[in-house]
Amino acid sequence: MAELTTTDMALIDKIFGMYGGYVLDFSNDRFAAFFNRDLKIDIYHDRYAIYGTSKGKHFRAFLEISPNADVVRTLTALWEYRETGMLDRGEEETVPNARQRLSSMLQKLGGKPLPSDPNDAPAPPPPAPEPKGPSEGVLLALEQEFLALTAMDEAPQQRGYAFERFLKRWFDVWGLDAHASFRTSGEQIDGSFQHEGSTYLVEAKWHSRPTDAAMLHSFQGKLLERPDWTRGLYVSYGSFSGESFDAFTARRLIMMDGADIYHALNRRLDLGEVVRKKVRHHSERRQPFARVTDLFSA
């Protein structure tokens, strides 16, 4: 027997008719022919006459005593018949949410939902995801600014200031909340930024010769005098000398050189991800300087 509730039966009556003795616009003969031809069911069999002899009473009995699968087939076929007639006559749906409500009933009985309304406009495509990070124009401008730095003829000090300003813009573009250079207690700090709960102090050196161990020791001393969540990024355009790694043990700092900056800019790498990978590499391998080209496969 079909698992239809009183509410289900009331909805069927609203959509197709039943309790008033009529079902849609069927005559007796066409009602019998519909069930025989489309459903292979003898709707006027005596088993369906328990409430009376009208179309509606036979239909009611059929719904109450038939298995779910037969009820699903019948309601789906009746819906298709009804929908075709309404389209031909140009009629609008009068039962609120009829399609959705009948579909839910069919699914409850183990059937498939009704097909979508052919008159419904196609659903608009989902909005394109918001681009993450800075625009291509901003990244291109940063890359060009860095390349222009390499061609500067100004005095080393002026070039160093320009380098610090470039780094701040680069950090800010990637949402790292950078601060410009500042002095405190006689110390010169070339800038700072935030990354994943840590504050990074920045040491920026624009010179062609590699940075040596003494310079690294000096910067690390500034870090060790600060809270444990303070880390450091040492940026040396001319990279680092081989002896600097032998004579220096990095505690809370990572390193970046000019080639790293170029490749990160040229490949449009997320600067936050560059820092994240350098930190992880140092934690796992005890190597504070890992090249961007090694951390990011082409």
98 with 144, same domain: the answer is: no
Quote the radius of gyration of the chain (alpha carbons, Å).
38
160 with 24, same domain: the answer is: no
Tell me which residue of 267, 115, 269, 274 sits closest to 193, measured CA to CA.
274
CA distance 17 to 20: 7
Asked if the structure places residue 1 within a domain, the reply is no
143 with 289, same domain: the answer is: yes
91 with 157, same domain: the answer is: no
175 with 75, same domain: the answer is: no
Asked if the structure places residue 35 within a domain, the reply is yes
89 with 197, same domain: the answer is: no
Asked if the structure places residue 274 within a domain, the reply is yes
Asked if the structure places residue 130 within a domain, the reply is no
190: CATH: 3.40.1350.10
Indicate the Cα dihedral angle 226, 227, 228, 231, nearest 10°.
Answer: -50
Record the pTM.
Answer: 0.58
Quote the number of domains for the chain: 2
Residue 294 CB contacts under 8 Å (≥ 6 apart), including other chains? none
39 with 142, same domain: the answer is: no
81 with 149, same domain: the answer is: no
Query: Residue 298 has what pLDDT?
Result: 67
90 with 140, same domain: the answer is: no
Residues 272, 176 contacting (CB under 8 angstroms): yes
Residue 207 sits at the vertex; the CA angle it makes with 205 and 208, to the nearest 5 degrees, is 140
Asked if the structure places residue 125 within a domain, the reply is no
CA distance 135 to 131: 8
* DSSP collapsed to 3 states, the chain: CCCCCHHHHHHHHHHHCCCCCCCCCCCHHHHHHHHHHHHCCCCCCHHHCCCCCCHHHHHHHHHHHCCHHHHHHHHHHHHHHHHHHHHHHCCCCCCCCHHHHHHHHHHHCCCCCCCCCCCCCCCCCCCCCCCCCCCHHHHHHHHHHHHHHHCCCCCHHHHHHHHHHHHHHHHHHCCCCCECCEEECCEEECCEEEECCEEEEEEEECCCCCECHHHHHHHHHHHHCCCCCEEEEEEECCCECHHHHHCCCCCCEEEEEHHHHHHHHHCCCCHHHHHHHHHHHHHHHCCCCCCHHHHCCC
Asked if the structure places residue 119 within a domain, the reply is no
Asked if the structure places residue 89 within a domain, the reply is yes
Q: Indicate the burial class of 27 (C-beta count within 10 angstroms; 0-12, 13-18, 19 or more).
A: exposed
Residues 95, 28 contacting (CB under 8 angstroms): no
**In which residue ranges of the chain is pLDDT below 50?**
none
178 with 94, same domain: the answer is: no
Domain housing 248? 136-295
142 with 81, same domain: the answer is: no
Asked if the structure places residue 210 within a domain, the reply is yes
Name the pairing type of β-strands 192-195 and 253-257.
unpaired
256 with 152, same domain: the answer is: yes
